[in-house]
Structure 1
Amino acid sequence: MYAKVAKLALNQSKKMMVIDKTATGLIIFYDLLEDDHGVTVDQPSRETQTCDLLSSIRDFAVASIDNKVYVSGGLDVIDESPVNALIVYDGYTGEWRLLSGMKKNRCNHTMVNWKGRLLVTGGEINAHKKLTSTCEVYYPETDKWVLIDPLPEPRCCHACVVHDGNVFLSGGLCASQHPQTSIWIYEQTASKWLSLDEDYPVELPYRLARHSMISHYDTIYIIGGGLLMSSEGVLLEKTSRKSLEQFVPRNWPLW
């Protein structure tokens, strides 16, 4: 299953929510058990449901704010075109509802919780895999979207994470559909994207797309993804990674 995971509280218990991204609309809930050793997933507690709003949508983005799980965009497999929809699952009521749509239709984009708002970046905007560099922010209190500073270049299938108040974006496919090594940061003070391989001496150690980024204490972890090995610009091999890399931004690090 190609899925996204979110954490929320439901009926006074903590749950892990797994959303299938292959246009089935399948949602799986697991109880999260906490003890002195940390958090574990209670496999026997598995519960499933179907979200009709996602039954024909794939390659969407997911983020959570205040016990609500938001799903944006995606590719409608019936029309074969990206959509701009934003839907939300309320962990308190257990209900889905439709909110104001994004300013751009997009799929294979990212969405993160940034200061209690939803920040959406990049993606594909039509069935011909045309990419966008546009970014927009959703304000839950007003149900409004606002465009912000665009990415340095169009990207899709990239990864994004909030770390120490800033938004980090890595890798992804460029307009020629080749994975990239770039790392960009949206600095909260400047409200502008900076390219770390230009402004700071750091980039990914290899070309990467369809991966994940996680922030944990002072470290950002890069997990999985697809990789294109190349030599002097010549594509050699396409494969998938199962490894984990770590990156410490305050050290402007070495991998």
Structure 2
Amino acid sequence: MPLVYVCPGVWIKATRGSRMREKRADFVAGCLGGRVIAAGGLGNQPSPLASVESYNQQKRRWEAVAPLPSPRCSCASVQTPSMLFVIGGVCQGPSSAVEALCLKESV
């Protein structure tokens, strides 16, 4: 069952059980292997996050994924069919990091 049903012109609020595990703002989002990915961003603390979560539609919950090697926010992202690239961003100043996530299901 998907997180949100498709209803033309109507927003459906996610249930409490389908909310992300960690509050985050200014993060990268993408979709790999049928999973929604949320990476990095800013949490409750005034420092960038390294955590990454993926939404498992079959289990209807968010699950932890390997963290970013470089915690950061305000990143750009580029997605290919099998990879989500996280590019640049901010972590105590501008970052030149380029990292990519590849999930088994998407290869």
Q: What is the TM-score when the length of structure 2 is the normalising length?
A: 0.79
Q: Give a deviation string over 1:158-206, Cα, whole Å, max 9, x none.
A: 12232131111100001x1x121111112345xxxxxxxxxxxxxxxxx
Report the counterpart of residue 184 of structure 1 in structure 2: 99
Report the counterpart of residue 96 of structure 1 in structure 2: 12
Report the counterpart of residue 155 of structure 1 in structure 2: 72
Cα distance in 2 between the residues matched to 1:160 and 1:89? 26
Cα distance in 2 between the residues matched to 1:91 and 1:116? 19
Tell whether the 8 Å contact from 2:76 to 2:87 is kept in structure 1 after alignment: yes
**Aligned residue identity for 2:25:** C
Of 10, 34, 46, which residue of structure 2 is paired with 1:116?
34
What SS does structure 2 have at the residue aligned with 1:90? coil
Bigger relative CO (Cα 8 Å, ≥ 6 apart): 2
Give the superposition deviation at 1:145.
Answer: 0.8
Q: Give a deviation string over 1:147-166, Cα, whole Å, max 9, x none.
A: 01000121101122321311
Q: Give a deviation string over 1:204-248, Cα, whole Å, max 9, x none.
A: xxxxxxxxxxxxxxxxxxxxxxxxxxxxxxxxxxxxxxxxxxxxx
Structure 1 position 164 matched with structure 2 position 81: yes
Give the superposition deviation at 1:89.
Answer: 7.0
Give the superposition deviation at 1:93.
Answer: 6.8
Written as runs of structure 1 = structure 2, the 5 A alignment for 1:65-144 is 88=4, 90-92=6-8, 94-99=10-15, 100-126=18-44, 128-144=45-61
* Structure 1: unaligned runs, 5 residues or longer: 1-67, 69-86, 190-255
Tell whether the 8 Å contact from 1:103 to 1:145 is kept in structure 2 after alignment: yes
What SS does structure 2 have at the residue aligned with 1:172? coil
* Structure 2: unaligned runs, 5 residues or longer: none
Q: Give a deviation string over 1:77-128, Cα, whole Å, max 9, x none.
A: xxxxxxxxxx8473447242223111111111111111211011001112x5
Report the counterpart of residue 146 of structure 1 in structure 2: 63
Tell whether the 8 Å contact from 2:28 to 2:86 is kept in structure 1 after alignment: no
